[in-house]
């Protein structure tokens, strides 16, 4: 990810990405975000949702699909979001009593954010069920989003060589 977008994420979410100031033996965020600029919005939305976990906003959401998409800057169709998050939300609402302990902001820190096998990988030092669900959602959305330009139209993964999620235009420019 380019330096400008990386700096924006580090400044907007200082507790979550505090590891970028540590040595590689302590935290791998010192290498920055090891993926393309196209996934910036997914990472931003995930970071915002993890931050909302601290503010306990997730438990009080009003389920207005347009507000949800606007708040987290999601450009895919609501049908896709609803389909992919159905299990996460079902778990959250049916098992409310099981999700008791929320991690404190100072406890959760991103250890590494990178591309692997054509998908986003987001590793943290501590987590809870809600954060694991949010990370799974972001990882799945990265399969549907071009890593270079961020479009969601006709994104495919190549079957040979380095696996990457790219649109036809970016795949042509890569070759």
**pTM of this prediction?**
0.72
Helical pair 129-143 and 78-94, crossing angle rounded to 10 deg? 160
The structural domains of the chain, with segments of one domain joined by +, span 3-174
Q: Tens-digit pLDDT profile for the chain (175 aa)?
A: 999 999 999 999 988 898 899 999 989 999 999 999 999 999 999 998 887 775 554 444 444 455 555 555 555 555 555 555 555 555 555 544 444 344 444 468 899 999 998 999 999 987 777 788 889 999 999 989 999 999 988 998 887 778 889 999 998 887 6
Coil, strand or helix at 13: coil
- Picking from 122, 102, 101, the residue whose alpha carbon sits closest to that of residue 112 is 122
Distance of CA 64 to the CA centre of its chain: 21
According to DSSP, the residues that pair with 114 across neighbouring strands are 34, 121
- Say how far apart CA 52 and CA 96 lie, in whole Å: 17
Alpha carbon of 76 to those of 82, 118, 127, 171: distances in Å?
A: 10, 18, 26, 20
């Amino acid at each position: 990810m380019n330096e400008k977008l990386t700096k924006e994420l580090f400044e907007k979410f200082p507790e979550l990405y505090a590891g970028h100031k540590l040595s590689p033996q302590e935290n791998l965020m010192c290498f920055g975000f090891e993926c393309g600029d196209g996934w910036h919005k997914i990472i931003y939305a995930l970071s915002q949702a993890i931050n909302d976990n601290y503010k306990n906003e997730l438990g009080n959401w009003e389920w207005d699909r347009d507000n949800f998409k606007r708040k987290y800057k999601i450009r895919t169709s609501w049908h896709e979001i609803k389909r992919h998050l159905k299990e996460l939300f079902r778990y959250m609402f049916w098992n409310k009593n099981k999700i008791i302990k929320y991690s404190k902001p100072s406890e959760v820190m991103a250890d590494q954010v990178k591309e692997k096998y054509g998908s986003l990988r987001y590793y943290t030092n501590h987590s809870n069920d809600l954060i694991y669900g949010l990370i799974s959602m972001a990882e799945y959305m990265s399969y549907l989003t071009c890593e270079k330009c961020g479009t969601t139209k006709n994104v495919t993964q190549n079957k040979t060589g380095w696996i990457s999620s790219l649109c036809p235009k970016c795949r042509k420019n890569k070759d």
